[in-house]
Amino acid sequence: MKAVIVGAGMGGLSAAIALKQIGVDVEVYEQVTENKPVGAAISVWSNGVKCLNHLGLEKEVAALGGIVDTMSYVDAHTGDTLCRFSMQPLIDEVGQRPYPVARAELQLMLMNAYGIDDIHFGKKMVSVTDGPDHATVEFADGTTATADLVIGADGAKSLTREYVLGGPVTRRYAGYVNFNGLVPIDPAIGPATEWTTYVGDHRRVSVMPVAGDRFYFFFDVPMPEGEPFERGTAGAVLAEEFADWAPGVQKLIAALDPSTTNRVEILDLDPFHTWVKGRVAVLGDAAHNTTPDIGQGGCSAMEDAVALQFAVQDHPDDVHAALAAYAAARTERAGELVLRARKRCDVTHGKDPEKTAAWYAELQGEDGTNILRGIVGNILGGPLTS
């Protein structure tokens, strides 16, 4: 069996490694010319880590991951700790530590695992077609690639999704902008092995460790879509937006490098259940574009990759049966994560201010049980965490 994978993000690369592992002849095509991921880091929750372990990357991901021993919520203005608790009960329950990882390093790890020299960079897909014997992808440079199946791992604005669904879809603005980057660890911002989140005013400021003594940080700021922003001005914007926040947040703003701080408008897409048309299937954000509020978009893409491997393994001579099994294994689970994230997003960002106020009140004195139960609920249900 031969597979063409379009997109060398974390979904496409995980799928490429997964299919290669079972002897599928894989070709990967990527529109960009080099490894330049958008965004600073992601938290790879235990379900994602289990997928990477399954792909043979246990040591590699552990080497890139930050150690999060505790979680805490901190009052935005006073800087008082609302609650602090150990992650150990979660690790014990799901059997795997989560790892926050710098994106560029995660990408490079996946590229090396697949074979970076085997990735066809600078290949922008402009169309995909499907026939009785094979599917064909056409690139902007006029060349084509043909295979038994095509996996569109071409991200949130997926062209493959348009083909599979028969037309474009409109994504939904989730109501907030996320600023993110990396800074050196500083205990004045948060403890070195803690995921610290400052909350207040329907906003959130968070730091968590990644390898190399760095914090991944992000700021969520509710605002209308399409506000003007000039790259390089994040420091000034955040200093104004968070002027009356606690000293730890001021330290973070002073420490960040505005020239490398990303600003991302957050969108998602209603879950849909048609992931396959003939020999063509979507995977990752192309199939389930979610807000990052439960940190599961990338993990879900990794789950897709493992589920695809299992489906092909079960139907080695029948592409249609394999893709049907893949979709059957994934659509409900991935859609549920999108809706869970949306729900969390609404509470965090004050869609109903009363609910957000109630959440702030709950955080005071929380011993971690409820929060960890929610996170475990996100983690369980994938191909390796059923």
Contact range with ligand FAD by CB under 6 A, out of 7-15, 49-57, 73-81, 190-198: 7-15
* 12 phi and psi angles, rounded to 5 deg: -60, -40
97 lines the binding site for ligand FAD (CB under 6 A): no
Q: Which of residues 355-384 bind ligand FAD (CB under 6 A)?
A: none
Q: Which of residues 42-61 bind ligand FAD (CB under 6 A)?
A: 42-43, 48
Q: Contact 65/59 with Cβ under 8 angstroms?
A: no
CA distances from 161 to 96, 263, 281, 296, 345 (A): 33, 25, 8, 20, 25
Reduced to 3 states, what is the DSSP secondary structure of residue 374? helix
Q: Which of 66, 295, 350, 368 binds ligand FAD (CB under 6 A)?
A: 295
98 lines the binding site for ligand FAD (CB under 6 A): no
Contact range with ligand FAD by CB under 6 A, out of 36-44, 68-76, 83-91, 165-173: 36-44
Amino acid letter for position 253: I
Q: How far is the CB of 354 from ligand FAD (least distance, A)?
A: 27
Site string for ligand FAD, 153-172 (x = CB under 6 A): xxxx--x-------------
303 lines the binding site for ligand FAD (CB under 6 A): no
12 lines the binding site for ligand FAD (CB under 6 A): yes
What is the distance between the alpha carbons of residues 28 and 119, in angstroms, rounded to a whole number? 5
Q: How far is the CB of 139 from ligand FAD (least distance, A)?
A: 7
Q: Contact 256/142 with Cβ under 8 angstroms?
A: no
Site string for ligand FAD, 224-263 (x = CB under 6 A): ----------------------------------------
180 lines the binding site for ligand FAD (CB under 6 A): yes
CA distances from 38 to 17, 42, 48, 318 (A): 22, 11, 19, 36
Q: How far is the CB of 31 from ligand FAD (least distance, A)?
A: 4
Q: Which of residues 105-124 bind ligand FAD (CB under 6 A)?
A: 123-124
**Polymer length of the chain:** 386
User: Please, what's the b/e burial string for 115-135 (b: 16 or more CB within 10 A of its CB; e: otherwise)?
Assistant: eeeebeeebebeebbeeeebb
8 vs 55, which CB is nearer to ligand FAD? 8
Contact range with ligand FAD by CB under 6 A, out of 38-46, 198-206, 317-325, 343-351: 38-46
- State the first-to-last Cα distance of the chain, in angstroms, to the nearest integer: 28
Q: Burial level of 376, CB count in 10 A (0-12/13-18/19+)?
A: middle
What is the distance between the alpha carbons of residues 78 and 95, in angstroms, rounded to a whole number? 36
What is the distance between the alpha carbons of residues 376 and 362, in angstroms, rounded to a whole number? 19
Angle at 300 between CA 297 and CA 302, to 5 degrees: 115
Indicate the angle between helix axes 297-314 and 319-348, nearest 10 degrees.
160
7 lines the binding site for ligand FAD (CB under 6 A): yes
220 lines the binding site for ligand FAD (CB under 6 A): no
Site string for ligand FAD, 265-294 (x = CB under 6 A): -------------------xxx-----x--
Residues that bind ligand FAD (CB under 6 A): 6-12, 29-32, 39, 42-43, 48, 123-125, 153-156, 159, 178, 180, 264, 284-286, 292, 295-299, 301
